[in-house]
Amino acid sequence: MNTTRILLVDDHALVREGFRALLVELGYQVVAEASDGNEALKLVELQRPNVVLMDIAMPELNGLEATAEITQNFPEVRVVILSVHADPEYARRALRAGAAGYLMKNSSSVELDIAIKAAMRGEMYLSPAIAKLIAANHVRQTSAEARPIERLTPRQLQVLRLIARGYSRKQIAEKLTISVKTFDTYRAKLMEQLDIHDVAGLMRYATEMGLVTPDE
């Protein structure tokens, strides 16, 4: 039996069941399963897995937000994103959040095994289709100045996502365990950095940049 301990995170039970079967067949230990980002954070602290296989689109705390929290608080835990989105923007956000890989859900079991082993070696793995898209975009953008969103911190991105989902000031402050005044400071800084001066504009921008997935 492979000694690599895996936490499987996806809000669809059938998807988790399918991946669990693949992982067991490959010889891995699935130590726990979570259906959302908040549950994943609790289980990471409790189980201390080696690798977290993380979906992106989940209720409450999505996979990108959970990844940022895990990699910041548990740097020894490697996170590999499992996604249906063949979108380089999602992949870039995942990598900036600290993910060790970005794997398409339609990948083969062989590729899943490769991605996990790469993560365990401290390497990064991207599905070939995503790697090509990122490379193509990089070539187009090499001479361009970095976009404002590229300079946002994981916390600022988390605040922006919650704004884009339509949560109120009070709700966002409660979710992030901060004061409303602190949230106002984050929002003001976001508006300044992005040169956007109203909440509706922030919501549109977040959607255009792919911070909110289609099924959120």
- pLDDT value for 143: 44
Give the contacts of 168 (CB within 8 A, at least 6 positions apart).
none
pLDDT tens-place string over residues 151-204: 888 888 889 989 988 899 999 999 888 999 999 999 999 999 998 989 989 998
pTM (2 decimals)?
0.69
pLDDT tens-place string over residues 83-96: 988 888 888 888 88
Structure tokens at 53: 């296989």
pLDDT band at 145 (very low <50, low <70, confident <90, very high): low
Structure tokens at 134: 């990122």
From residue 120, alpha-carbon distances to 6, 17, 73, 108 in Å are 11, 23, 18, 19
The alpha-helical segments, DSSP class H, found in 142-212 are 154-164, 169-176, 180-194, 199-208
The edge-to-edge listing of strands for the beta sheet with 29-34 is 29-34, 5-9, 51-55, 78-83, 101-104, 125-126
Residue 45 has a CB neighbour count (10 Å cut-off) of 12
Structure tokens at 146: 């970095």
Q: What are phi and psi of 25, to 5 degrees?
A: -60, -35
